[in-house]
Amino acid sequence: VKKKPPTSQPSPPAAKPWEAAQGHGSACDPLAARFVESLSYDTRLYRHDIAGSIAHARMLAKVGLITADDLGAIERGLDEIRAEIDAQGEAWPGWRIELEDVHMCIEAALIEKVGDAGRKLHTGRSRNDQVALDLRLWANDAVDALDASFHRLYAAFINLAARDGRIVMPSYTHLQRAQPIVVGAELLAWLEAFGRCGDRLATLMLMDRDNPLGSGAIAGSSLALDREATTQALEIFEQPTASSLDATASRDVAIDFVYALAMTAQWLSRWAEQWIIYASTEFGFITLDERYTTGSSMMPQKRNPDMLELIRGRCGNVYGHLVALLTICKGLTIGYNRDLQEDKRHLFAAYDTVRDGLAMAARIVATTHFNEARIADGLDRGFLDATSIAEYLVTRGLPFRTAHQIVGRLVKRCLDRGVPRLADLKIEEFNTVCRDAGAGGDACGKDVYDWLGPANVVDRYRSAGNAGTSGFEAQLAVWRKRLADTAADIRC
Which of the residues 229 through 248 are near its own copies (CB under 8 A)?
Answer: 235-236, 240-248
Which residues does 333 contact at the CB level (< 8 Å), separation at least 6? none
| Binding to its own copies, residues 36-55 (CB under 8 A) | 36, 43-44, 46-47
Using CB under 8 A as the binding rule, whether residue 279 contacts its own copies is answered as yes
Using CB under 8 A as the binding rule, whether residue 83 contacts its own copies is answered as no
DSSP bridge pairs for 176: 173
DSSP bridge pairs for 414: none
| Binding to its own copies, residues 293-332 (CB under 8 A) | 294, 296-307, 309-310, 312-317, 319-332
Please state the closest distance from residue 278 (CB atom) to its own copies, in A. 10
* Stretch binding its own copies (CB under 8 A), from 73-81, 156-164, 279-287, 434-442: 279-287
What character string, x for contact with its own copies (CB under 8 A) and - otherwise, covers 431-470?
A: --------------------x-----x--xxxxxxxxx--
| Binding to its own copies, residues 180-239 (CB under 8 A) | 180-181, 185-186, 188-193, 195-196, 198-200, 202-209, 214-225, 227-228, 235-236
Query: Burial level of 416, CB count in 10 A (0-12/13-18/19+)?
Result: exposed
What character string, x for contact with its own copies (CB under 8 A) and - otherwise, covers 128-167?
A: x---------x-xxxxxx-xx-------------------
Written as one string, the DSSP assignment of 390-406 is HHHHHHTT--HHHHHHH
Using CB under 8 A as the binding rule, whether residue 480 contacts its own copies is answered as no
* Whole-number Å distance between alpha carbons of 253 and 259: 10
- In the annotation, is 296 catalytic? yes
Q: In the complex with its own copies, which residue's Cβ is closer, 365 or 457?
A: 457
- In the annotation, is 346 catalytic? no
Q: Which one among 157, 257, 383, 430 touches its own copies, defined by CB under 8 A?
A: 383
* Whole-number Å distance between alpha carbons of 372 and 363: 21
Which residues does 326 contact at the CB level (< 8 Å), separation at least 6? 255
Give 437's DSSP letter: T
Please state the closest distance from residue 62 (CB atom) to its own copies, in A. 14
| Binding to its own copies, residues 407-426 (CB under 8 A) | 407-408, 411-412, 415
Annotated active-site residue in 174, 222, 297, 463: 174
Question: Under a CB-based contact definition with an 8 Å cutoff, are residues 469 and 158 in contact?
Answer: no
Using CB under 8 A as the binding rule, whether residue 259 contacts its own copies is answered as yes
Residues in contact with its own copies, counted by CB under 8 A, come to a total of 229
156, 158, 159, 165 alpha-carbon torsion, rounded to 10° = 130
| Binding to its own copies, residues 86-115 (CB under 8 A) | 86-90, 111
Question: Which long-range contacts does 189-196 make (Cβ < 8 Å, 24+ apart)?
Answer: 189/467, 190/157, 190/267, 190/271, 191/154, 191/157, 191/158, 191/161, 191/479, 193/267, 193/270, 193/271, 194/150, 194/153, 194/154, 194/157, 194/264, 194/267, 195/150, 195/154
Please state the closest distance from residue 153 (CB atom) to its own copies, in A. 13
Q: Which residues are catalytic?
A: 174, 296
